[in-house]
Structure 1
Amino acid sequence: MNERTIPTLNDWLGGTNRLEQLTTLFYQKVLKDDLLEPVFRHMSPEHASHVAHFIGEVFGGPKLYTETDGGSHASMIAHHLGKHLDEAKRRRWMSLLLESADEIGLPDDPEFRSALLGYLEWGSRIAVLNSTSADNPIQADAPMPVWGWGETGGPYTAD
């Protein structure tokens, strides 16, 4: 039996540099968007890289968000508290992020895009839910989420 090595989502998309490229382009778009700009106008200069590091860590990459940026799952959730996000903002956020993924040439195979879209849908919907609260539902020591290939079990190969 021939066992294949299944890459992490982070490895498959090209690693930290690709995610930083994605989030940099994405937040440039966000700051030009009438609906989203008010939410993000006061973000720190490091915001895009912190988000890239968070996604990379969730996707099986290096623990840059927790070990270098000093973040945690609870701290990421805390950034959304009291923001009063809604479905229109969530949809625009999703649209601009997926548009950015296409523009920088992230993998577009069905397996990867299914995993990426699944994570973004899950995370953005949690952000909306938590944005109406002042209390963080995540304990400070809660583990980081881990996202994988889901039902596909990995990228398509002709093997």
Structure 2
Amino acid sequence: MRPTLYEFAGGKPAFLALARAHHERCLADPELNHPFSHPDQHPQHVERLAAYWAEVMGGPPEYSGKCGDHSAMLVMHAGNGDMSDLGRRFVECFVAAADDARLPQDPEFRAALRDYMEWAVAEVLSYPTDDIPVPSRLPMPRWSWHGPEAGSSVESLL
């Protein structure tokens, strides 16, 4: 049986390295810098981001157990207006951060990561204004080698 994306990446340390590398790349980006250097950002933002991505990719339910469900994450990022260029930049930082974090170079693995992040960014950007409410109690998405897992909340959002 094939390992989860979480296991293949190297588990919790790999996702923490990915979140750290991604955060650094976003801070270095002239357009993404502002949202990533905001003074009221949670002090454990990087760790929470790592836990979220890890859970989505098949890791333990650490994020949902401590921070909330998928709806809670969407609410945090909703209502920011049209940010389509920021979304593209965010994905590019994520892809480059996978190199920085020394995640496996396997093309199928890297394609799964990119596909997830493109989907995730599009979903976040689908709530640009406060008049488009985020549904409550959305379960965590689950992503596999071939996209959303069967029965995952992602399937209903595609």
- TM (norm. structure 2) is 0.84
String of CA shifts for 1:99-156, please: whole Å, max 9, x gaps: 111122111212111211110010011111113335542222x2211111117xxxxx
Residues 146 and 93 (structure 1), Cα distance of their counterparts in 2 relative to 1, 3 Å cut: same
Q: In structure 1, what is the equivalent of residue 121 of structure 2?
A: 124
Which runs of structure 1 show a deviation greater than 4 angstroms over 4 or more consecutive aligned residues? none
String of CA shifts for 1:63-116, please: whole Å, max 9, x gaps: 11011x322101010111122242211111111111111122111212111211
Answer yes or no: is 1:95 the counterpart of 2:92. yes
Q: In structure 2, what is the equivalent of residue 139 of structure 1?
A: 136
Q: In structure 2, what is the equivalent of residue 78 of structure 1?
A: 75
Q: In structure 2, what is the equivalent of residue 14 of structure 1?
A: 10
Structure 2 CA distance for aligned equivalents of residues 136 and 48 of structure 1: 26
Structure 1 CA distance for aligned equivalents of residues 126 and 51 of structure 2: 23
Structure 2 CA distance for aligned equivalents of residues 74 and 98 of structure 1: 24
Answer yes or no: is 1:57 the counterpart of 2:55. yes
**Which ranges of structure 2 fall in alignment gaps of 5 or more residues?**
148-158
Q: Which has the larger Rg? A: 1
String of CA shifts for 1:15-50, please: whole Å, max 9, x gaps: 111111111121122123220112222222211111
Which of the residues 22, 36, 52 maps onto 1:26? 22
More displaced 10-residue stretch of structure 1: 130-139 or 95-104: 130-139
- TM (norm. structure 1) is 0.84
Find the residue that maps to 2:121 and give its secondary structure: helix
Q: In structure 1, what is the equivalent of residue 154 of structure 2?
A: none
State the identity as a percent. 32
Which of the residues 24, 29, 35 maps onto 2:31? 35
Structure 1 CA distance for aligned equivalents of residues 125 and 15 of structure 2: 23
Paired residue type of 2:109: F
Q: Is the 8 A contact 2:18 2:101 kept in 1?
A: yes
Paired residue type of 2:103: L
Structure 1 CA distance for aligned equivalents of residues 57 and 15 of structure 2: 11
RMSD, aligned α-carbons: 1.6
Answer yes or no: is 1:149 the counterpart of 2:150. no
**Which ranges of structure 1 fall in alignment gaps of 5 or more residues?**
152-159
Number of aligned positions between the proteins: 145
Paired residue type of 2:6: N
